[in-house]
Amino acid sequence: MSARVDITLTVNGERVTRSVEARRHLIDFLRLDLGLTGSHAGCEHGVCGACTVRVDGEIVRGCLVLAASLDGAEVTTIEGLTDSGEVADLQEAFVLRNAAQCGFCSPGMVMAAADILRHHPQATRAEIREHLSGNYCRCTGYQAIVDAVESTLRARREGAR
């Protein structure tokens, strides 16, 4: 039984090759092997959403993905998402509305919100809440976060006209 697996994947646009223990989940791979500490583990059983990252274009729970299974995959973390500028307007809305307090949920929350911006640009307030229903935040009570997503969606719709 080989305990280590060689993988080559793209992380935030960069090709990386590593030999990983089979039991390492994606979050630990990002944090410990690549130094990308923006992704967080809050429960390690897929419930809190702090670990939400993008794999092959889709949001997933990083704590429920084996790093070893990601050979050939494309991973985007909060660092890469930020550098790309894809959600700069959303992040600015978070700042303006204080939609982050301690910030521990924020990377996962921004990832989940980015998914709404991408796939549900017409989302209503209730739909925004529903889409974020898998991301735990203890500090904000969620309203400011919903406000930030809603205002970003509105601005994008208005900007597109």
Q: Which of positions 1-20 make contact with another protein (CB under 8 A)? A: 1-3, 5
What mask, x for binding another protein by CB under 8 A, covers residues 29 to 68?
--x----xxxxx-xxxxxxxxx-x-----xxxx-xxxx-x
Among 11, 27, 29, 79, binds another protein (CB under 8 A): 79
Taking each helix axis from N to C end, the angle separating 106-119 and 88-97, rounded to the nearest 10 degrees, works out to 130
Nearest-approach distance from CB 84 to another protein, in angstroms: 12
Supply the minimum distance, in Å, between the C-beta of residue 63 and another protein: 7
CA atoms within 13 A on the CB side of 46: 7
Q: Interaction with another protein in 131-150: which residues (CB under 8 A)? A: 131-146
Strand 4-11 and strand 74-76: the pairing is parallel
For residue 117, state whether it binds another protein (rule: CB under 8 A): no
Q: Which is nearer to another protein, 11 or 79 (CB)?
A: 79
Distance CA 130, CA 106 (A): 17
Q: How far is CA 37 from CA 40, 47, 61, 77, 130, in A?
A: 7, 20, 15, 10, 27
Residue number with CB closer to another protein (151 or 161): 151
Residue 152 interacts with another protein (CB under 8 A)? Answer: no
* Cα–Cα distance, 25 to 6 (Å, whole number): 14
Taking the least distance from each CB to another protein, the nearer of 4 and 160 is 4
Q: Does 160 bind another protein (CB under 8 A)?
A: no
Query: Tokens 């889409």 identify what position?
Result: 131
Q: Of 111, 85, 91, 89, which is closest to residue 159 (Cα–Cα)?
A: 89
